């Protein structure tokens, strides 16, 4: 019986999935299973997954018609046998000691889930920016600003907690992780940060501006979940969220006017909320308003921490 069940939704990931699975196989802990749920890929992903499953008995392939990542993750959990559920997207990379670090963290029975630091990259080995983690357990007010977990590849929870709190909202494509995290924290789960690099997150140059409306709508649904637990975002938290979007726009070089507009909205919402801490807020404001004058590599370096 594996201790760790790793759930990996896959959709048209033929260019990245080999590296992602190789990083799992390279883990220093071996008692894991990897459940790859192909979500109706049409690009050769299935053939790559079949090759991995044939080569390693710990790897399982499940196929479904395209239904989105939430459905794929829920289906993967249904097939899982481990007591600890980990999630990994098919274009991210784990550090080889991740499961060893998680094993130590979960030895504390008071902890229901953990997440760590992530490094954003476009070419492996070249870090564009790294995330920061707090010192205390995850809270709903924190999640209503800038989600410190950042990606589903960075979260692991006890299976019993997942079953008690329920799976992912299957109608959401954006912010499904945020809604789920708010829900499990609201139901009493203790999610603890680890100040260690656990995940390399591959940034995408997909159109942020085209997704903003959908992201805003799905965040509204996540905030509806927060309201059920008695939390509504204040102006400072709204400003932090707008800062997150501005930083994302800068990181992905998605139209420099987009970042500038988001920064302006955030500053109008709450100047202090947007600007502090200065190493994030002030740096983001400078990069957003100076972006037309700066080469893309320089603007990414401005908010590298």
Dist CA 52 CA 60 (whole Å)? 9
Residue 210 has pLDDT above 50, yes or no: no
pLDDT at 30: 94
- Report which of 212, 268, 259, 240 is spatially closest to residue 143, judged by C-alpha positions: 240
Residue 207 has pLDDT above 80, yes or no: no
- Report which of 199, 203, 202, 201 is spatially closest to residue 95, judged by C-alpha positions: 199
Cα-Cα end-to-end distance for the chain:
40
pLDDT at 126: 67
> Residue for token digits 């500038």?
260
Q: Where are the domains of the chain?
A: 4-202, 234-302
Helices 256-269 and 208-228, packing angle to 10 deg: 30
pLDDT at 139: 97
What's 23-49 look like in SS3?
HHHCCCCCCEEEEEEEECCCCCHHHHH
Backbone dihedral region of 75: left (phi > 0), alpha (psi from -120 to 50 degrees) or beta? alpha
pLDDT at 243: 93
Residue 305 has pLDDT above 60, yes or no: no
The structure tokens listed for 249 are: 């726009």
Q: What is the pLDDT averaged over residues 191-215?
A: 77
Poorest-confidence range of 17-26, 90-99, 128-137? 128-137
CA geometry: angle 222, 228, 230, nearest 5 deg: 110
Domain spanning 4-202: which superfamily?
Spore Coat Polysaccharide Biosynthesis Protein SpsA; Chain A (3.90.550.10)
CA dihedral 221, 148, 104, 162 (to 10 degrees): 0
Residue 218 has pLDDT above 90, yes or no: no
Instruction: Provide the β-strand partners of residue 3.
Output: none
- Report which of 269, 303, 273 is spatially closest to residue 288, judged by C-alpha positions: 303
pLDDT digits (tens, 9 = 90+) for 96-149: 999 999 999 999 999 999 999 999 887 766 666 788 898 899 999 999 998 999
Say what the pTM is. Answer: 0.90
Dist CA 18 CA 53 (whole Å)? 12
Residue 181 has pLDDT above 70, yes or no: yes
Dist CA 153 CA 90 (whole Å)? 9
Q: What is the pLDDT averaged over residues 184-206?
A: 91
Concatenating the DSSP letter of every residue in 134-171 gives -SS---HHHHTSS-TT-SGGGEEEEHHHHHHH----TT
Residue 205 has pLDDT above 60, yes or no: no
Dist CA 269 CA 237 (whole Å)? 9
Residue 209 has pLDDT above 60, yes or no: no
Is 213 or 221 the better-scoring residue by pLDDT? 221
Poorest-confidence range of 128-142, 207-221, 282-296? 207-221
The full length of the chain comes to 305
Poorest-confidence range of 55-64, 220-229, 234-243, 293-302? 293-302
């Amino acid at each position: 019986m594996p201790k760790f069940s790793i759930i990996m939704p896959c959709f048209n990931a033929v260019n990245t999935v080999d590296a992602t699975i190789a990083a799992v196989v390279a883990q220093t802990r071996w008692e894991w299973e990897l459940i790859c749920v192909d979500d109706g890929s049409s690009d050769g992903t299935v053939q790559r997954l079949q090759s991995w499953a044939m080569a390693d008995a710990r790897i399982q392939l499940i196929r479904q018609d395209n239904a989105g990542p939430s459905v794929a993750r829920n289906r993967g959990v249904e097939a899982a046998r481990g007591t600890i559920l980990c999630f990994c997207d098919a274009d991210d990379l784990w550090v080889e000691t991740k499961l060893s670090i998680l094993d130590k963290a979960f030895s504390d029975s008071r902890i229901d889930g953990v997440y760590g630091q992530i490094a954003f990259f476009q070419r492996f080995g070249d870090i564009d920016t790294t995330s920061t983690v707090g010192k205390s357990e995850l809270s709903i007010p924190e999640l209503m600003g800038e989600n410190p977990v950042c990606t589903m590849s960075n979260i692991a929870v006890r299976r019993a907690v997942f079953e008690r709190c329920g799976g992912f909202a299957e109608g959401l494509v954006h912010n499904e992780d945020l809604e789920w995290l708010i829900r499990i924290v609201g139901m009493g789960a203790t999610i603890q940060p680890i100040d260690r690099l656990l995940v390399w997150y591959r940034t995408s140059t997909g159109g942020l501006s085209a997704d903003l409306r959908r992201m805003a709508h799905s965040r509204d649904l996540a905030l509806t979940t927060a309201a059920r637990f008695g939390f509504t975002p204040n102006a400072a938290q709204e400003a932090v969220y707008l800062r997150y979007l501005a930083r994302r726009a800068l990181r992905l070089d998605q139209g420099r006017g987009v970042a500038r507009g988001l920064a302006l909205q955030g500053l109008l919402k709450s100047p202090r909320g947007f600007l502090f801490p200065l190493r994030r807020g002030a740096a983001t404001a400078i990069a957003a308003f100076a972006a037309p004058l700066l080469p893309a590599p320089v603007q990414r370096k401005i908010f590298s921490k």
